[in-house]
Amino acid sequence: MQQPEMVKVWDPLVRLFHWTLVIGFAIAYLTEDDLLDLHVLAGYTVLGLVLFRILWGFVGPRHARFRDFVYPFATIKQYTLDTLARRGKRYLGHNPAGGAMILLLLVCLLLTCFTGLAIYGIEEKAGPLASLLAGAGEFWEDVVEETHEFLANFTLLLVFIHVGGVIYESLLHRESLVKAMINGYKRAGD
């Protein structure tokens, strides 16, 4: 049997971003209050990665750009329904549901990082927001901390949904999306 033609889809920076983000988020999530210095370092790393990915979404190669994977809500809904019915169209780049998940993850990660910087400024009187939040009282400390924890947990839920979607799509289209995010290649169009 002839091997299918493979095409480069994911550039090295998208792949490096993805796997570094996986590690950074895992470290930040697992260290929480126990290893604050490591937690903060991981948080800054995640923030830098997210800011890079937002920039790369405008200037990167085709499949890294937002315009390649941002779809109207109706398209996302129809794609999701079709995929659940096992008749979803295969996409070379991000499919509509995957694109929506990427945007949602980026927003949640950005908000998680911002609230992390805020709580770091309030509790530790450190970081770029420390002087701005110096007079915040216990009420705001609790609000920011609860918001940060909610966002981190919600992001973890999104990660599980993302991984489930990747597994489902890989089985549906008989193509390892994980392997594609490692080596950058996917099967050419069907």
What are residue 187's DSSP bridge partners?
A: 6
Mark out the alpha helices in the chain (DSSP H runs).
12-31, 36-59, 66-69, 73-84, 96-124, 138-173, 177-183
> Closest Cα partner for 56 from 19, 17, 21?
17
Whole-angstrom distance, CA of residue 148 vs CA of residue 166: 27
Domains along the chain with CATH numbers: 6-183 (1.20.950.20)
pLDDT digits over 133-182, tens only? 888 889 999 999 999 999 999 999 999 999 999 999 999 999 999 999 99
**pLDDT tens per residue, range 82-100:** 999 999 899 999 999 999 9
What is the C-alpha to C-alpha distance for residues 83 and 91, in angstroms, rounded to an integer? 12
